[in-house]
Amino acid sequence: MNGLAGPSTSSVGAVRSRLDSKQPGKVKHMGAAENAAAIRRGYEAFNTADMATLTEVFDGKASWHTPGKGPLAGDKKGRDATFAYFGELGGQTAGSFKAELQYLLTDDDDHVVGVHHNTGERNGKKLDVNCCLLFKLKDGKIMDGQEHFDDLNAWDAFWS
């Protein structure tokens, strides 16, 4: 990983694929900065329930993986299943669930790691866990997300 950056509060324009000038018509891989910008947009859209931007950032075939033994654990295949999971996070917490971005780490192989802090409230319980999310991107769109929690037991207990 070669980049480390804190969250950005500035507005980031749409991330677009670039054409490889040596091979006309061939899409070039997005660079680390463009991928980081896409992930920042995704975090901001997630925390504000901006479905239009989330739809732009996630590929239709995106998958999502949540560890644990709780009712929300498991693999989600496709953007619709991933968004349904996101809806559960918000719905079961009456909209209080947040993922506050702390850091991004990037590489030149279309991977971004987002380190964030999760908070939320439900049924008299308070969530307070850190999460590391490994993203795989293709052409500036999220193809895969894998969540890793610093306290999986606390995560599972919150959702049980």
Alpha-carbon distance of 116 to 83, in angstroms, equals 19
Q: Do 158 and 125 form a contact (C-beta atoms < 8 A)?
A: yes
Domains of the chain by start residue, with CATH: 21-159 (3.10.450.50)
Q: What is the pLDDT of residue 108?
A: 85
Write down the pLDDT at residue 54.
97
Tokens 């950032």 label which residue? 57
Residue range 39-48: mean pLDDT, rounded = 96
Yes or no: say if 85 and 72 are a contact pair by the CB < 8 Å rule: yes
Q: Looking at residue 28, what is its pLDDT?
A: 53
Lookup: tokens for 49: 């329930």
pLDDT score at 29: 59
**Tens digits of per-residue pLDDT, 62-72?**
999 999 999 99
Whether residue 11 has pLDDT greater than 50? no
Percent of the chain with pLDDT over 90: 78
* pLDDT over 90 at 87, yes or no: yes
Going by pLDDT thresholds of 50, 70 and 90, the confidence category of residue 145 is very high
Residues in the chain: 160
Q: State which H helix or E strand residue 141 sits in.
A: strand 141-149
